Amino acid sequence: MKGAVVHVVVAGEIGGAERMLVDLARSDANRAHSVALLTPNPQLRAMLRDAGVALDDRGPVREGPLSYLSRSLGPHDVGWLCGVLRDRRAAVVHLHTFASQVLGTRAALHHGARIVRTEHSTRVYDDPSCWPFSRWSLERADAVVCISEHVRDVARAKASWIDARVVPNGVDVDRFAPAPAPDGRPDGAVRFIALGRLDRRKGLDIALEALALVPRAELDVVGEGDQAGPLMQLASRLGVARRVRFRGFAGDVRDAIATASVGLSSARAEGLGIALLEAMAMGRPIVALPTGGVPEIVRDGDTGWLAHGRSADALARVMAEAIERPDEVSRRGERARRNVVARYSIDAMRQGYEAVYASLPGPSAD
């Protein structure tokens, strides 16, 4: 058995990083994986447990700046994590979230394990309040992985010394199998779906403004977050509340995707978009703003529609085009599925990370 990997997750919400981790950390015949979890969110805890991931759970923890500083700089949580690394005989500590970076790095250095960081977004490079802490960890990492070329470009612009490689997130293409498209509506309406955390970076306010400009569009919003209330209020002000369904958190998004015809991304910032890959795997083309790593997976005219600009007007134009071209929705959906199978499978992701682990210096990762 090769050296064990402990993934450190300090997070309050379920997003792409947490969902890809389930597939990466499941049982591996060649290498043991486990997750050291610190979260206030019982849904995240349940998701990992239900998936059969080997889990060390710190128990409910608090969020907020003071909790972050205490956890990152104090002795208690790093002591707990050092115990986990010892018990799991960790050779590699894999860090996935900003809140895990200082804590996980300190414990790994104490334990003598190699450090791998996955950059799931550009947040730590864009936010001045995050960067000093993240840089301290980054300078001590043995390997850095970015989920898209876009994230790597941003990381290198801020931290020119890193030698980052790209390993895109993967999707279980058997689980996210193609689903029949919904039957056509007599009124010609088309249902779009947006999946992900309801925060400002995801730009759901832009999606609602675009929806107001496309009378035959309907929208399902699947996810939770601190913007849920303001978004519902905005939908009412824009007069689109009857055409939007806020479906909340879904542990399994497949049924929600199956009821829609087209995936939608209105993100202001996006590392790659695992929710988009899931929709594409089910045969749904994507209508999207050309943000971050999205153009790497959504090819205009091939696997979806990319807006020419980042405004609500630009998004509305490509939404309207998709509604007017049902033949293209079907064709591009089929192309989207084929692209995910060829380039973004779980096996491809696992092979990419195994190559990273195998390349780490010293005997501890072998």
Contact 60, 40 (CB under 8 A): yes
Chain-centroid distance of CA 57 in Å reads 21
d(CA 132, CA 116): 18
CATH annotation of 190-343: 3.40.50.2000
What whole-number percentage of the chain has pLDDT above 90?
Answer: 78
Contact 229, 362 (CB under 8 A): no
d(CA 161, CA 365): 23
d(CA 318, CA 314): 7
Given this model, what pLDDT does residue 268 score? Answer: 93
Asked whether the predicted pLDDT for residue 254 surpasses 80, the reply is yes
Token output for 32: 């043991």
Please report, to the nearest 10 degrees, the dihedral formed by the alpha carbons of residues 148, 154, 157, 162 taken in order. Answer: -50
d(CA 10, CA 103): 9
d(CA 194, CA 151): 22
What whole-number percentage of the chain has pLDDT above 70?
Answer: 98
Asked whether the predicted pLDDT for residue 154 surpasses 90, the reply is yes
d(CA 91, CA 34): 12
- The model's pLDDT over 60-85, given as tens digits with 9 standing for 90+, comes to 888 888 889 999 999 999 999 999 99
Given this model, what pLDDT does residue 208 score? Answer: 98
**Pick among 3.40.50.2000, 3.30.1020.10, 3.60.15.10, 3.40.50.10140: CATH of 2-170+345-365:** 3.40.50.2000
Q: List phi, psi (to 5°) of 94.
A: -110, 120
The boundaries of every CATH 3.40.50.2000 domain in the chain are 2-170+345-365, 190-343
Helix H or strand E segment including 32: strand 31-39
- The model's pLDDT over 24-60, given as tens digits with 9 standing for 90+, comes to 988 677 889 999 999 999 989 998 998 889 999 998 8
Token output for 92: 């590699």
Give me the helices (H) in 160-299, please: 204-211, 228-238, 254-258, 274-281, 294-297
pTM of the model: 0.87
- The model's pLDDT over 179-221, given as tens digits with 9 standing for 90+, comes to 998 887 778 889 999 998 898 989 999 999 999 999 999 999 9
